[in-house]
Amino acid sequence: MKKNFSFLFLLLLLPFLAISQGQPEIPFSADWLQKIAKTAPQKTHFPSSKKHKILIFSLHTGFKHWVIPHTEAIMQTMATQTGDFEVTVTKDIAAFEKKSLAQYDAVILNNTCSIGDKRDIFWDVLKVKYPNDSLLAKKEAKVLEQNLLNYVKKGGGLMLLHGGIVMQNKSLAFGEMAGGNFFYHPKQQEITLRMVDESHPLVRAFEGKTFVHIDEPYLFNNAYDSKNFKPLLYFNASEIEGIKEKDGDAIRYVSWIRKHGKGRVFYSSPSHNAQSYDDPRLLAFLLDGLQFVVGDIACDFSPIGK
């Protein structure tokens, strides 16, 4: 179930992997990884209650973000250097079986973009596994999604990075848990991110200063309507080229936290390009986010509401 698929499973995946869109995967160099090791935090900023088991799920069936292996590497590097996390990486949807999820304190969805009219990554895989039984594929896909929803509701942590929010993009239940559903993004451009509350412990890494980087300015459905989260970072809509809505909110949130049942959710759109990881503040921010979802950080995450 871990890093490598069986040969048979690869054959099953080929039909839709062949049509997935996106950038070619760019392997990171040893020099880059060495640089990240020096830049990344050597220890957690907040006390850790135990050594937490983390699952990183990195399958994409839709748009392929070239940063996927880099994100795996930085999370594994920070886990190793701090000694507070044990990380498992997989692209196997069997990881969302109940017994499998029960092993982990938190799940990281690493740019898990889905494709097609359903925008459901479980369906994308299972329709290939069961080409002559769409009802069975649909049923199993629903079970796996519900397993994830229940896992978080019962106390599991969930961290969604950039395209991770696209995994079940037409599911209202997933969107409610995540804090929103992906809508669209204008072209990549320079984005200036600001903190909603500079005193909040989860943005302490930025030291009260703006974070400027090149990224896709993600925009969302539902997120700005219900605002069922505690926002952390935002950009000014007036500064972004290509926003379609004329009368939307003046500021657009791109990172937030929320409670879902007994579980905790952290979303960060910033994490699209590996160059952004050159800034130690982003690495520290993501590490703090991981500590939040496993319950190591006591902070205010009450939703701001409509």
- Spell out the domain ranges in the chain: 7-167+254-293
- CA distance readout (Å), 74 to 93, 103, 168, 214, 287: 22, 22, 25, 18, 10
> Which residue in 171, 286, 158, 170 sits closest to 229, CA to CA?
158
Which residues make Cβ contacts (< 8 Å) with residue 14, sequence separation at least 6? none
Written as one string, the DSSP assignment of 1-57 is --SS--HHHHHHHHHHHTT--BPPP-PPPHHHHHHHHHHS-SS-SS--SS-EEEEEE
**Which pLDDT does position 257 carry in this prediction?**
98
Predicted confidence band of residue 66 (pLDDT cuts 50, 70, 90): low
Please give the average per-residue pLDDT across 99-121, as a whole number. 91
Confidence of residue 223 (pLDDT cuts 50, 70, 90): low
Q: What share of the chain is helix, strand, coil (3-state, %, to 5)?
A: 40, 20, 40
Checking if the pLDDT of 113 tops 80, the result is no
Query: What is the spatial distance between Cα 128 and Cα 158, in angstroms, rounded to a whole number?
Result: 27
Domain 7-167+254-293 part of CATH 3.40.50: yes
What is residue 247's predicted lDDT score, i.e. its pLDDT?
62
pLDDT of 7 above 50: no
Q: Is the pLDDT of residue 181 over 70?
A: yes
The least confident of 33-37, 76-80, 112-116, 259-263 is 112-116
Q: What is the pLDDT at residue 14?
A: 33
